[in-house]
Amino acid sequence: MDDATQDPTEFWEHRYGEKDQIWSGRPNQSLVGAVVGLPPGRALDLGCGEGGDSIWLAEQGWVVDAVDISATAVARAGAAAAARSIPEGGAITWMVRDLATWEPAGPYDLVSACFLHSPVPFPRTAVLRRAAAAVAPGGHLLIVGHAAPPPWSTDQHHQHLMLGPAEELVELAMDETGWFTVISEVRSREATDPDGEPAILEDAVTLLRRR
């Protein structure tokens, strides 16, 4: 079955089943840079994966709802949080949900979507707009995505929807009377490629504040 027709739950369970750990466990640098300085409140982490961002947010004082379609990823995230003395149902509530149909129960002071890309069919813009509707007045919507494929990219990477900051704003079509753009830019970060060599990646970072 090719990626275009594969069931999303099946795809992501297979993806997380390939290794004992897929991601580094560290928070995304662009999330840290955008969120540091915001007063902690209630946060929603869309596509939380193995929990690096949610755990960091909880350690900064946020109360987090962390959502992912993969039960394997969420289980790993919960174990990683427990190892950092963050109990289930405390600062983080882990949820296995399909974001394509799930309705977030706000209000949230922060909704974060970091690298919410998918090579299988996924209504990304609809998911982001639905989550934005759950942001409280004065709260923030943060979207971090790939601005370009990584230098070591394969054909699979090109199946991801990659938008620049300006394109992201156009795609979201948010009401400017209700939202203020805090950040809309490409940020570079250092990374390591699959062969262990240094590389530079470009992130499209969009931070909006609800008026």
Topology given in CATH for the domain delimited by 8-210: Rossmann fold (3.40.50)
H/E segment holding residue 45: strand 42-46
Q: How would residue 192 be classed by pLDDT, with cut points 50, 70 and 90?
A: confident
**CA–CA gap between residue 64 and residue 57 (Å, rounded):** 7
Beta bridge partners of 170: none
Which 8-state DSSP code applies to residue 175? -
Residue range 28-74, pLDDT digits in tens? 999 999 999 999 999 999 999 999 999 999 999 999 999 999 999 99
**Three-state DSSP class for residue 192:** strand
**CA–CA gap between residue 102 and residue 118 (Å, rounded):** 17
Instruction: Give the tokens for residue 6.
Output: 């594969």
- pLDDT score at 158: 47
Instruction: Tell me the domain boundaries of the chain.
Output: 8-210
Class of residue 109 by CB neighbours under 10 A (exposed 0-12, middle 13-18, buried 19+) = buried
Strands (DSSP E) contained in the chain are 42-46, 63-68, 92-96, 108-114, 135-146, 179-192, 198-210
- pLDDT score at 160: 62
Which 8-state DSSP code applies to residue 151? T
Residue range 104-137, pLDDT digits in tens? 998 999 999 999 999 999 999 999 999 999 999 9
Q: List CB contacts of 61: < 8 A, sequence separation 6 or more.
A: 40
